[in-house]
Structure 1
């Protein structure tokens, strides 16, 4: 489906971000991830972000996940933004029917110079049961402008901690880590930004399952609408 050699080369270049795990002990998957974000400012401090996500993988024999949602963000200062959002998530596999779940999330984003940190909490509502699965997802990202000042290099790390288990399948513990390296490209006079990168996701083997290493080419387009649509 994708060039395995290309993804393997990217994996070697990002080795500093990956944990060392014996190849024979883990399952590997080549994937493609895309995301489109539209930021719509309501006031200078408040904005709505509309989101669409699609993910494809070899193990799923095609599309593995879809997400559609929105996030309401409020800036309480130059370096802090609070957010509350909803996503409708479709999960698919090559061996069974798809499952669609609803997710709520709350987050706070802090920025300082070229560093950005995000602390997010998800609540998952799955049709397999009435229990709510909670996920805690801290993320840190460094953005480093290149000499041309038109491009920027970025590196990020995100961890997934699950504080509870559910009968429909979530298991408590440190579930996975997600590391990424890439380049940010400005488009249309910086009204849009495109992140192009290699994403490595490692799912820890728990409860007898084998660990899974996922290699993904990731494209994320962020479009910024012009000016607030609500006025005082």
Structure 2
């Protein structure tokens, strides 16, 4: 195995995952993507997400949406999309509608995404903006589409809203996992996800430990990789 991968993992996790969180939660995250080509450079991705939490008593978040992607250059894709987000069980947050714009790139073993979300709450006015940069390193394991990977994503909130969003550095997500080909058109990303929510405005910080499973069915579209959400 290349020495660069363990070094990249250590640099990714050292200093970004706090040694102790005041409260912790065990979770399971599932995501299904179906990619449909429209033209050689344009594709639609249909998305479904469900997240389960021990602390919140079952499925606490669901998301359904779509993303229109346009490959503007080799290894570079621009996308716009919409999601409907529902909260369940002990998650008392109000449902949301979300718009997003993003740029995704692939360069060798590195992949990245820069996303901007606009959040619309169903209980109040005001648009909550989120900036979400993500970086991922892939280590090929000899077979096509088989690789180890590590990724980091930060959530930066530039504004506050009356319905609850508070400006600042809200959270980070780090994942260690394996990318697996399950068939000619089906891929899976399976790994350990660590999410840390900073304690702000009197709230306790929280660390989530999640099994993350993402399945992607590609019906023939070209373009850059689909990264974990």
Q: TM-score, normalised by structure 2?
A: 0.87
**C-alpha displacement of 1:91:** 1.6
The residue that corresponds to 1:78 in the other structure is 74
**C-alpha displacement of 1:227:** 5.8
Q: Deviations over 1:127-184 (max 9, x none)?
A: 1211000000000011110144562001000000000001111000000000000001
Q: 2:209 aligns with which of 184, 198, 215?
A: 215
Structure 2 counterparts to residues 15-94 of structure 1, below 5 A: 16=14, 18-23=16-21, 26-94=22-90
Partner-residue secondary structure (3-state), 1:31: strand
Structure 2 counterparts to residues 1-232 of structure 1, below 5 A: 16=14, 18-23=16-21, 26-94=22-90, 96=92, 99-149=94-144, 151-189=146-184, 191-226=185-220
Which consecutive unaligned segments of at least 5 residues does structure 2 have?
1-11, 223-229
Task: Say if 2:13 and 2:174, in contact at 8 Å, map to a contact too.
Answer: no
CA distance in 1, matches of 2:91, 2:98: 24
CA RMSD of aligned residues (A): 1.8
Task: Say if 2:43 and 2:221, in contact at 8 Å, map to a contact too.
Answer: no
Aligned length: 211
CA distance in 2, matches of 1:169, 1:220: 29
Deviating above 4 A after TM superposition, structure 1's stretches of 4 or more consecutive aligned residues are 14-18
Which consecutive unaligned segments of at least 5 residues does structure 1 have?
1-13
Partner-residue secondary structure (3-state), 2:111: strand
CA distance in 2, matches of 1:37, 1:17: 32
Partner-residue secondary structure (3-state), 1:99: coil
CA distance in 1, matches of 2:91, 2:215: 31
Partner-residue secondary structure (3-state), 2:95: strand
**C-alpha displacement of 1:99:** 2.7
CA distance in 2, matches of 1:144, 1:17: 22
Q: TM-score, normalised by structure 1?
A: 0.86
